[in-house]
Amino acid sequence: MAREDEQAQELADIMKEESARGTRHPKRALTVSQERKMRHFVRLIANGNCEDREIASAIRALGPQEGSPEYQRLWNIWLQFRGRRS
């Protein structure tokens, strides 16, 4: 059921992007893209069965480079959550 909700949300995002083609809404398109990447990151954390390299890849997809404060903040979220599940 949750997978169907995720697919419906992704379809809605794609439709939103496609309907904006030909018009100038670069900030909105970027926001939709960032939201999709953030949802992917959150799903990985919630799953808990993913490896550290998957989380690192998802964080880099969001934009922060390794060693930056933003990267470290997101990495610490993962470490805290993983510690609670162990």
* pLDDT given for residue 86 in this prediction: 44
Note the pTM of the prediction, 2 decimals.
0.56
Residue 61 amino acid letter: A
The 10s digit of each residue's pLDDT in 46-80 is 877 888 888 888 888 888 888 899 999 988 888 88
Decide: 39 and 18 in contact? Cβ < 8 Å: no
Residue 83 amino acid letter: G
Q: Is the pLDDT of residue 36 over 50?
A: yes
* pLDDT given for residue 83 in this prediction: 78
* pLDDT given for residue 2 in this prediction: 67
The 10s digit of each residue's pLDDT in 9-32 is 888 888 877 776 666 656 666 687
